[in-house]
Amino acid sequence: MNRLIIISNRVAPVTEGKSQAGGLAVAILEALKRQGGIWFGWNGEIEESAEATEPILKKAGNITYATMPLSRRDHDEYYNGYANATLWPLLHYRLDLASFDAATYEAYRRVNALFAEKVTPLLRDQDLVWVHDYHLMPLGQELRRRGHGQRMGFFLHTPWPSPEILSALPAMVELVESLCAYDLIGFHTRDDLGCFTQCVATSGAGTVEMAEDGASACITAADGHRVEARVFPISIDTTNLEKLAAQAAQSEATQRLRDSLVGRALIVGVDRLDYSKGLPQRFTAFQELLDRYPENLSAVSFLQIAPPSRSDVTEYQQIRRELETMAGHINGHFADFDWVPIRYLNRSFGRRTLAGFYRAAQVGLVTPLRDGMNLVAKEYVAAQDPDDPGVLVLSRFAGAARELEEALQVNPYDTGEVAECLQRALHMPLAERKERHAAMLRHLRTHDITRWREDYVAALAGHP
Q: Which of 360, 397, 398 is nearest to 380 (CA)?
A: 360
179 vs 188, 255, 358, CA distance in Å?
16, 49, 38
Pattern 154-183, ligand ADQ, x by CB under 6 A = ---xx-------------------------
Residue 234 Cβ vs ligand ADQ, minimum distance, rounded to whole Å: 4
Task: Choose, by CB under 6 A, the member of 19, 247, 284, 423 that binds ligand ADQ.
Answer: 19
Q: How far is the CB of 336 from ligand ADQ (least distance, A)?
A: 27
Q: Is 24 in the site for ligand ADQ (CB under 6 A)?
A: yes
Residue 38 binds to ligand ADQ (criterion: CB under 6 A): no
List 131, 143, 229, 376, residue binding ligand ADQ (CB under 6 A): 376
Given 371, 437, 443, 448, which residue is catalytic?
A: 371
Backbone angles phi, psi at 41, to 5 degrees: 170, -165
Of 19-27, 242-250, 280-288, 325-333, the window that binds ligand ADQ (rule: CB under 6 A) is 19-27
Selecting among 75, 92, 157, 188, the annotated active-site residue is 157
**305 counts as binding ligand ADQ under rule CB under 6 A:** yes
Minimum CB separation of residue 112 from ligand ADQ in Å reads: 20
Query: Segment 255-274, which members bind ligand ADQ (CB under 6 A)?
Result: 270, 272
Active site residue 157: yes
Can 371 be counted among the known catalytic residues?
yes
Report the site for ligand ADQ in 326-365 (rule: CB under 6 A).
Answer: 348-349, 354
Q: Of 245 and 373, which has the nearer Cβ to ligand ADQ? A: 373
Stretch that binds ligand ADQ, among 174-182, 193-201, 328-336, 369-377 (CB under 6 A): 369-377
Residue, CB closest to ligand ADQ? 23
* Interaction mask 227-256, ligand ADQ, x per CB under 6 A: -------x----------------------
Of 55 and 364, nearer to ligand ADQ (C-beta) is 364
Judged by beta carbon, residue 23 or residue 55, the one nearer ligand ADQ is 23
- Number of residues counted as binding ligand ADQ (CB under 6 A): 23
Q: Which amino acids are annotated catalytic?
A: 157, 371
Which residues are near ligand ADQ by CB under 6 A? 19, 21-24, 26, 157-158, 234, 270, 272, 305, 307, 348-349, 354, 371-376, 379
